[in-house]
Chain A
């Protein structure tokens, strides 16, 4: 029971991160390999806000994603927007290179061991649920991630803005003809996806080591989640994020040595049986 709950908590991270990836891929057709680095930046920006400006966790929860999202927007404007006409592969290579550069820069300035970041006072401590001790902070992560995931899904699938976005990816020329600024919308969408990564980074800062490699370790798993869920499927990313968190959690109990591999085994099986992913639309 406790282990299931832990799996769900880890799934929350997978869900928020893979959601960002899915939004970016689904609406922009970009495979954003710098997502892990942007997640790391979220955690580092939270640390910088605290240590250089004395800004605590709660404002950082808003500010850090905005800052990271702004860097994403700059990146899209300066570089990515030039690649839309080319094959996916170029976007992938560019974002991968950017990720390495960002990680290298942070490593150069802050070293590899990481930096301390405390859990905010309001959320320290925890509840004894009888079957396990649930830290308040972990409970908060689940709540925050459910809100963010549902909010994003609602915005894209159910609102007028989301409809514009989806229409713009189907036929940008036609949507542009209706007087909608398509390039700006795409830029903002990328910024939003990146901000989601930054948000996950802030959420992670108090419980995981804040170091330049924190995203590199996670991004591969998150990509597997997106592939299993179906590239570009918002709902798929959310559901598989939580689901795989659970499966991984169970593996940690019954066969811990295999817990690092289980997600990839599932990915291989899903790709063999349903190459478009569990929730993917057949092209």
Chain B
């Protein structure tokens, strides 16, 4: 189940060769995510590749830091995630856990990390509770959260005239959280929610729910779901002529891999919010090309977040000169970053990473020049506008 990756050997070789090295630090990172289920494409092995690239790009070996990366499959189950996290911390000497999609699993790992006094850099999970109701001094939440999605897509669609909303909500914690945060944003912008339906998770056929949404007279059908559910819902909405009849779809959480699965023909015109897209600038293109070479597909924002999080963690370790968790965490929050993938940003006292989010629109098939050429950037949402304000009791740097 665990796959150690031999980067350490390289580091070791340089260390024995170069006498001028000031530091001699061993770091062990654990990438814990879904390697076989619904989120395997957006996190999975790609996140491990991203972490490995971060170690190489940072030049850990030359700086006298030897990094080992292990990985495991949590199957999107909180109990399995907890067991692995515990084993990693207690017996295998892992210093930090990365990624962890699926909010329930992420919250479990956050708690165990706090007990063990280690570091948890989350990229894959969406729940705002990670830096809210269940915040921990040892949690860093890197890439996105449900509030940022709502403040991106939800706000943009409401402002563009989509005042009446109907939600198709995946009937579990994540779906309800996304619906709740989006409702807040919709109402704050003068919109209203005219109805909703809780869809059992996972679902294949959405036609019945889509017809209910159509009958509600809403302007916008908000999809508070993810992955295969979103793909199915959008495919069938186009089939039933719902978008052609004037109702808009708002896919509240969608990754570039989902859009790729739908194809530009079906997905065209959808607006969605992401923290990262491979074709944003020279730096993201260059990095994504290298990533694609190793992994075979373009990176998602979750994988990019693992890269940036790892890079920033290693910078802090270098600055502190050891892996002692609380010192590293304090350093991470002190140092602002200017990263090739996420641009300028900083980490708040509650562990929320504040960086720009982007509103994208899916290109029409005619505009797209390749299978991954999928988005036009519509707007930049500053980190301060995207994420929720910090709760006072979660400010651990006070």
List residues of A whose CB falls within 8 A of some B CB: 2-3, 6-7, 9-10, 104, 107, 111-116, 118-119, 125-126, 132-133, 135, 137-138, 206-209, 211, 213-214, 217-218, 249, 252-253, 256-257, 259-261
Contact = CB atoms under 8 A, between A and B. Distances in A.
Interface in B40-68: 40-42
A119 B235 CA distance: 10
B274 interface: no
B16 interface: no
Contacts of B235: 207-209
Contact of B41 (A113, A253, A256): A113
A252 B208 contact: yes
B209 interface: yes
Nearest to A125: B241
Given A9-B207, A113-B41, A208-B205, 18 more contacts: A6-B207, A107-B40, A111-B41, A112-B39, A113-B261, A114-B231, A116-B265, A118-B265, A118-B266, A207-B235, A209-B228, A209-B261, A213-B38, A252-B209, A256-B197, A257-B200, A259-B208, A260-B200
B199 A119 contact: no
B211 A118 contact: no
Interface in B221-256: 227-228, 231-232, 235-236, 239-241, 245
A113 B257 contact: yes
The 7 residue pairs across chains A and B that have the minimum distance between CB atoms: A116-B263, A260-B200, A252-B208, A114-B261, A113-B261, A113-B257, A113-B41
Contact of B228 (A125, A207, A213, A249): A213
A142 B39 CA distance: 33
A206 B239 CA distance: 9
Contacts of A116: 261-263, 265-266
14 contacts: A7-B208, A104-B36, A111-B41, A111-B297, A112-B37, A113-B261, A114-B231, A116-B263, A116-B265, A126-B239, A135-B239, A208-B205, A213-B38, A259-B208
B326 interface: no
A106 B128 CA distance: 34
Contact of B204 (A6, A133, A208, A249): A208
B258 A113 contact: yes
B260 interface: yes
Contact of B208 (A107, A114, A218, A253): A253
Given A107-B36, A211-B228, A118 B212 contact: no
Nearest to B207: A6
A261 B203 CA distance: 12
Contacts of A249: 208
Contacts, number: 101
Contacts of B327: none
B208 A6 contact: yes
Tell me if A's interface is mostly helix, strand, loop or mixed: mixed
Contacts of A208: 204-205, 232, 235
Contacts of B245: 133
Contact of A256 (B200, B227, B258): B200
Most buried by A among B40, B199, B228: B228
Contacts of A113: 41-42, 227-228, 231, 257-258, 260-261
Interface of B: 36-42, 171, 197-200, 202-205, 207-209, 211-212, 227-228, 231-232, 235-236, 239-241, 245, 257-258, 260-263, 265-266, 297
Contacts of A119: 239
A257 B209 CA distance: 11
Nearest to B229: A209
A260 B203 contact: yes
A111 B212 contact: no
A135 B241 contact: yes
B199 A256 contact: yes
Contact of B240 (A126, A259, A261): A126
A68 B49 CA distance: 35
B73 to A, nearest CB: 12
B8 to A, nearest CB: 28
Contact of B261 (A211, A213, A256): A211
Contacts of B231: 113-114, 209
A10 B204 CA distance: 10
Contacts of B239: 119, 126, 135, 137-138, 206-207
A256 B196 CA distance: 10
A5 B116 CA distance: 56
A111 B257 contact: yes
Contacts of A259: 200, 208
Contacts of A10: 205, 207
Contacts of A209: 204, 228, 231-232, 235, 261
A210 to B, nearest CB: 8
B204 to A, nearest CB: 6
Given A6-B207, A126-B240, A133-B240, A118 B263 contact: yes
Most buried by B among A2, A112, A213, A259: A112
A217 B204 contact: yes
Contacts of A114: 228, 231, 261
B235 to A, nearest CB: 6
A207 B206 CA distance: 10
